[in-house]
Structure 1
Amino acid sequence: MNYKDRFSVISLIVFLTLLTAVSGWAQKLYVKPSSEITMRRGQGTDFKIIAVLKDGTPVEMLAEADDWAQVRLESGREGWVLRRYLSDAPPLGQQVEQLQREKEVLTETTQSLKSRVDQLTAEKDEVERRLSDEKAEVERELNQCVVERTTINEDFLNLQEDTADVIQTKTDLDSARTRVEDLESQVGKLQKENDRLGKTEMLKWFLAGGGVLFLGWIIGMVSRKSRKKRSSLL
């Protein structure tokens, strides 16, 4: 229930209370001011007087016949009085007292309503403050979510790029590994060829060296024979 509904309900309760009180007053009659009348056992001046009523005396009318009215006093005693001496307006003093009581009731009601209004206003302010705080917190969390979402998107893009780089790097490594294997194979072949060529070269040098020695030996032999021939001729 909001503030307006609560205020409407309280106002309706006060109105119904006052209306009930007014309805109760309307059921009563009073002896008119400046009048002092007699109450008799029956309708007519020939009946015995059983009470004298002063002005302002409240009575309850039970029945009405011609100029007479059957009434009941607050004490419960019943009798007949002339109708023309009765009025539905309470005495001025009673009206003043009643108005004073009504004023006090209305003052208390007004104070109560004012206190209630102040309380509801304070509650409304507290609710508005709490809603404002909650709104600010929601906005802060929303902004944080936006920042986190942006960060996640950036991380995802970076991860995609890193993944692409990893794939490319793996491809490059595979290619490099294949190239290294090819180069190692070529190096092995070249090493074998180099070993073979080295052995051939050594053989050539060995043969060349042997040939030189053999040639030197032949030349030596020829030289010695030539010297022997010259000696014999001399």
Structure 2
Amino acid sequence: MTPFRLFLSLLLIISSVAVAQARTVWVDDKVYLPVRTGAGSQFRIIENAVSGTRMEVLETGDGYTRVRTSKGNEGWVASQYLSNQPIAEDRLQQATRDLETARAELAQAREQLNAVTSERDELESAESNLSSRSRQLQTELERIKNIAADSINLERRNRELLEDNQKLRNDLEVLTAENERLEAGKESDFMLLGAGLVFAGVLLALLVPMLKPTRKTDNWA
């Protein structure tokens, strides 16, 4: 093997090893922003603010901004590292929280929908039962009306019978009085007849002796 070929083989082997050892990496977004006592890198650092830290702007200068941190420290930071909106990680976390909240609300809405659907089914069942009960009550009402009508007819018939009975009682009283009068008249007639018979008997008793022939006295004796 010639030296050139040997060199080429070694180069290929080294390249293969380098490719085999290659990997993908990302830049860490955890950036620490120094808060200094003055507007410049020569001033002392009083706090290292991590990326995403909320700050209150107190004063704006040339390339630096005077701020108050969440810890209450006041100092200067480089304006180029400040943003008017939260960092992407915070926005992603907020979006994730919003998504979780939306999912929870969706699950709650589904539960409420299921509850409303179940309640609707119960109401429909109750309505069906009420309709059936209403029909039964309507039938019962018709029966009661018929009974009431029969009762009214019976009451009217009863009144008519009572009136007829009262009329019969009145007629009976009249007939009884007439019968008593006739009975009294018969007794009077019987008494008169009896008196007449007695008088006739007495009269006959008086007349019969007078009608007998008198026996003549026998003078020849």
TM-score with structure 1 setting the length: 0.53
Of 69, 84, 91, the residue aligned with 1:88 is 84
Asked if the contact 1:41/1:49 (under 8 Å) is kept, the reply is yes
Unpaired segments ≥5 residues, structure 2: 1-28, 212-221
Of 95, 100, 106, the residue aligned with 2:102 is 106
Identical amino acids, percent of aligned pairs: 17
Q: Partner amino acid for 1:47?
A: F
1:111-160 CA-to-partner distances (Å, cap 9, x unmatched) read 12322332244334434544554465455445534532442243123212
CA apart distance, 1:170: 1.8
Task: Give the length in aligned residue pairs.
Answer: 172
Of 154, 165, 169, the residue aligned with 1:158 is 154
CA apart distance, 1:80: 1.1
Q: Partner amino acid for 2:90?
A: Q
Asked if the contact 2:56/2:69 (under 8 Å) is kept, the reply is no
Q: Distance in 2 between matches of 1:50 and 1:184?
A: 144
The alignment partner of 2:55 has SS state of strand
Q: Partner amino acid for 2:78?
A: L
Asked if the contact 2:57/2:67 (under 8 Å) is kept, the reply is yes
Aligned in 2, Cα 1:90/1:188: closer, same or farther, shift over 3 Å? same
Answer 1 or 2: which has greater helix percent: 1
CA apart distance, 1:40: 2.0
> RMSD of the TM alignment (CA)?
4.0
Q: Which has the higher contact order (CA 8 A, sep 6+)?
A: 1
Q: For residues 173-188 of structure 1, what are the structure 2 equivalents within 5 Å?
A: 173-183=169-179, 185-186=181-182
Partner of 2:16: none
CA apart distance, 1:53: 5.5
Asked if the contact 2:64/2:77 (under 8 Å) is kept, the reply is yes
Partner of 1:63: 58
The alignment partner of 1:87 has SS state of coil
1:34-59 CA-to-partner distances (Å, cap 9, x unmatched) read 977543212344533445656x3423
Q: Partner amino acid for 1:84?
A: Q
Unpaired segments ≥5 residues, structure 1: 1-32, 215-234
Q: Distance in 2 between matches of 1:145 and 1:121?
A: 35
Partner of 1:144: 140
Partner of 1:47: 43
Partner of 2:4: none
CA apart distance, 1:171: 0.9
